[in-house]
Structure 1
Amino acid sequence: MSDEVLRLEGIGKTFNQGTALEARVLQDINLRLGRGELTALIGPSGSGKSTLLNLIGLLDVPTAGELYLQGRPTRSSDDATRTRMRNESLGFVFQFHHLISAFSVLENVLMPLIIRSGRPSAEAVELARSLLQEVGLERLADKKPTEISGGQQQRVAIARALVTRPPLLLADEPTGNLDSRTAASVFDLFRRINEQFGCSILVVTHDPRLAASCPRTIELVDGRIVSDGASIPRPP
């Protein structure tokens, strides 16, 4: 199996193509992510970060170029194939955790597997409990999301994203709704998960300190990658 998890070749995205409202958001994006990489995606508001993440997450389709996920081209795939590839290969963590308040913490972690195959197996439940242990929340498994803190809710969301064992985890401003101390704690968890599980992680962030904590930083400006290299550590 290739060590390449993601490859973008000449990716472009234009909205309202061929109309007076045409807007080119991404241009000639070339990018590769290897297995086990921890990478930050940074750039000013309006630079195209969210659009790029939506393309990588197979939530939208590029208007130019090709996106390969684990070596498989995706642009011409039908909706069913894209949904299957997304469920098999990707995990998502967002700024807002989107936990379901009617279900327990454990049930929220299990939700991707419940959606995929119905009633979870004993092995799935054991995996979910082990992930809650990894994020330090095993004692809260039976609590409802409304009964735990914001930082704890984000840790539940991270465990949920990992329950399918995805090779690529996409995180969109995962600490943007947290105070600085809790944000640093959550980001430390990302680093530990990256090392322990070996999954690639792409994190969109506006926080320069968090970006500097990633071994690699990609900067997007006006829909183009303007830099891609090792992060420069910032002083504490």
Structure 2
Amino acid sequence: MSEQSQEVLHLEALRKSYNISQPNEVEVLHGIDLCIERRDFAALIGPSGSGKSTLLNILGLLDRPTSGELYLLGQPTSKMQDSERTALRGSSIGFVFQFHHLIQAFTALQNILMPLMLAHGKPDKQATDRARELLAAVGLEKFAERKPNELSGGQQQRVAIARALITNPALLLADEPTGNLDTQTAEDMFALFRKVHEERDCAVLLVTHDPRLSKTCDRTINLVDGLIQSDTRGQEVVEGST
């Protein structure tokens, strides 16, 4: 199997319930089978209440499924200790959210370095140089010492993208990443995600309500009532994901 078609995520019969064994127990995800490969630049869409946020949290190892298995880079994760899941998440997954969650007291450069600082302590010169390279890659090399309140919304989102890439993740998860941006800035952000995907061998999964955004992705996964209703790459139905 070529590197470009390598599996990053693989879900088998994944279910998620809340309030288990209680009168108000509810199952939100009803047996999801899904594969994400490095070549994928995909959109996860679906109406409110369809289970997108629940699925995203499980994909990002922020939550555990009730049953089923999630393989990340070939490793089964359901029985991992929390510390193992945290380490795997930190090394393999980058997150970008609608609200970028930058630390206001830190500079743009320090915010980008934060994942490495949490994992390894004070960053060395190599890490700092990499953070500066990422700032340049998102067009903000001149803003390294600025704090978030000195940056526009679009610039802050660029810092958040650079922060998500500092660990060289195999998968970039973005939750409504353009939902808080004006149209032009959103288009710029989308172009940046494309650049990341093409240049860094990184699978990208965007959760979005914006049909313009999803239509320009290579693959669209439609989640309805906790089930994958359709999964298409271009006009081709993706097998094993319905």
TM-score normalized by the length of structure 1 = 0.96
Aligned residue for 2:179? Answer: 176
Tell me the CA shift for residue 34 of structure 1: 0.8
Deviations 1:122-143 (A, max 9, x none): 1101100000101000010111
CA distance in 1 between partners of 2:22 and 2:210 (Å): 36
Percent identity reads 59
Q: 1:204 aligns with which of 202, 207, 229?
A: 207
CA distance in 1 between partners of 2:81 and 2:132 (Å): 35
Does residue 1:103 correspond to 2:137, yes or no? no
Does residue 1:164 correspond to 2:153, yes or no? no
Deviations 1:20-70 (A, max 9, x none): 111110011000011131110000000000000000111111011100000
Map 1:142-157 to 2 at 5 A: 142-157=145-160
Q: Which amino acid in 2 is paired with 1:31?
A: L
Deviations 1:106-125 (A, max 9, x none): 11011111111111111101
Aligned residue for 1:80? Answer: 83
CA distance in 1 between partners of 2:59 and 2:73 (Å): 12
CA distance in 1 between partners of 2:137 and 2:199 (Å): 10
Gaps of 5+ in 1: none
Aligned residue for 1:189? Answer: 192
Q: 1:4 aligns with which of 4, 7, 13?
A: 7
Tell me the C-alpha RMSD between the 2 structures: 1.1
Runs of 4+ in 1 over 6 A off after TM superposition: none
Tell me the CA shift for residue 17 of structure 1: 1.5
Does residue 1:122 correspond to 2:122, yes or no? no
Q: Which amino acid in 1 is paired with 2:190?
A: F
CA distance in 2 between partners of 1:213 and 1:100 (Å): 32
Number of residue pairs the alignment of both structures matches: 232
Tell me the CA shift for residue 198 of structure 1: 1.0
CA distance in 1 between partners of 2:169 and 2:149 (Å): 27
Aligned residue for 2:239? Answer: none
Tell me the CA shift for residue 154 of structure 1: 0.2
Q: 2:116 aligns with which of 88, 113, 116?
A: 113
CA distance in 2 between partners of 1:111 and 1:63 (Å): 31
CA contact 1:212–1:231 (8 Å) conserved in 2: no
CA distance in 1 between partners of 2:194 and 2:17 (Å): 34
Aligned residue for 1:219? Answer: 222
Q: Which amino acid in 1 is paired with 2:167?
A: T
Q: 2:135 aligns with which of 132, 135, 139?
A: 132
CA distance in 2 between partners of 1:88 and 1:143 (Å): 27
Q: Which amino acid in 2 is paired with 1:187?
A: F
CA distance in 1 between partners of 2:114 and 2:97 (Å): 16
TM-score normalized by the length of structure 2 = 0.94
Tell me the CA shift for residue 231 of structure 1: 4.4
SS of alignment partner, residue 30 of structure 2: strand
Q: Which amino acid in 1 is paired with 2:52?
A: K
